[in-house]
């Protein structure tokens, strides 16, 4: 198989919704290999391990097989091995579970007092 660009691979294995989002992630340094940021045009090879930052999740993936086109979600495991530690997923789950900015439906806007408590908690 011919050489595959990094941004195209990340899009094809469904880590990013669009190829342009994958390209932007590469350009902003969110995709790394051995601590070095990679360009979107980096040619991937089987066995390479990449570190990705997607929002707050720090993901580690290994290339299992090359592919040129986007595949279904069930087929992704044939092309990529997820090496992300379980602690990272637990951390993200904890953040989502205890995110206090989530308000109950129908509770309305925060009062001035609520807003001050939120700011004190977040910034102090």
Q: How far apart are CA 58 and CA 41, in angstroms?
A: 22
Backbone angles phi, psi at 95, to 5 degrees: -60, -45
What is the band of 3 on the pLDDT scale with cuts at 50, 70, 90? confident
Q: How far apart are CA 115 and CA 101, in angstroms?
A: 10
Q: What is the mean pLDDT of residues 92-111?
A: 77
Is 59:84 a contact under the CB 8 Å cutoff? yes
- Say what the pLDDT of residue 19 is: 93
Residue 114 has which token pair? Answer: 């609520």
- DSSP-derived secondary structure for 11-29: HHTTSSSSHHHHHHHHHTT
94 burial level (CB within 10 Å; 0-12, 13-18, 19+):
exposed
| Domain 1-84 class in CATH | alpha beta
Residue with tokens 């994958």: 22
What is the band of 78 on the pLDDT scale with cuts at 50, 70, 90? very high
- Say yes or no to pLDDT of 1 above 90: no
Q: What is the mean pLDDT of residues 105-123?
A: 82
Q: What is the mean pLDDT of residues 77-105?
A: 84
Domain ranges, ordered by start, for the chain: 1-84, 86-124
């Amino acid at each position: 198989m011919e050489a595959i660009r990094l941004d195209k691979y990340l899009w094809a294995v469904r880590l990013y919704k669009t190829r342009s989002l994958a390209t932007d992630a590469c350009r902003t340094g969110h995709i790394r290999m051995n601590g070095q940021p990679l360009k979107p045009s980096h040619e991937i090879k089987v066995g390479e391990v990449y570190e990705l930052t997607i929002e707050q999740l720090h993901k580690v993936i290994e290339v299992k097989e090359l592919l040129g086109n986007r595949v279904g979600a069930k087929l992704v495991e044939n092309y990529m091995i997820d090496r992300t530690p379980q602690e990272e997923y637990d951390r993200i789950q904890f953040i989502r579970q205890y995110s206090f900015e989530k308000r109950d439906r129908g509770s309305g806007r925060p009062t001035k007092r609520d807003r001050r408590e939120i700011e004190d908690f977040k910034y102090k």
